Amino acid sequence: MQYMLITYVNQSGWGTLTKAQQEQGMAAYQAYTDALSKAGALVSANRLGMAAEAATVRLDAGKPQVLDGPYADTKEQFGGYFVIDVPNHDAAVSWAARCPAADHGIVEVRPIWPM
């Protein structure tokens, strides 16, 4: 069954890290991605640009209304995702607990509905 592991992190914290800390953080995510791939669980993954670069679109009387930034004002922002294929929810939660984002943010585990 496929699950999406959605990472939420405080993006403003990235700029406060030293170059060495940033490299260490990127290495942790690469090691996690490699482990998912080696286990045959990785379907896809990607990180997102900064929330400040986002736009929110909704229709009002059939006309698009575009706002800068994310919809919700939160401490943590949607930073990226991993789509994994694992046997069950417990396995997905286990992988989420290993994600580096769980150490400095939140990892939401959500099943993907089959099409």
The number of domains in the chain is: 1
- Rounded to whole angstroms, the Cα distance separating 43 from 89 reads 16
- Rounded to whole angstroms, the Cα distance separating 31 from 37 reads 10
Highest average pLDDT, of 1-5, 6-10, 63-67, comes from 1-5
The CATH number of the domain where 7 resides is what?
3.30.70.1060
The pTM score is 0.85
pLDDT tens-digit map of 20-48? 999 998 999 999 999 999 999 999 999 98
Give just the sign of the alpha carbon dihedral 14, 28, 46, 94. Answer: negative
pLDDT for res 72: 60
Domain with 74 in it: 2-111
Indicate the pLDDT class of residue 11, thresholds 50, 70 and 90: confident
3-state secondary structure of 49: coil
Cα 12 from chain centre = 15
Q: Is the pLDDT of residue 93 over 80?
A: yes
Q: Is the pLDDT of residue 97 over 90?
A: yes
- The count of residues in the chain is 115
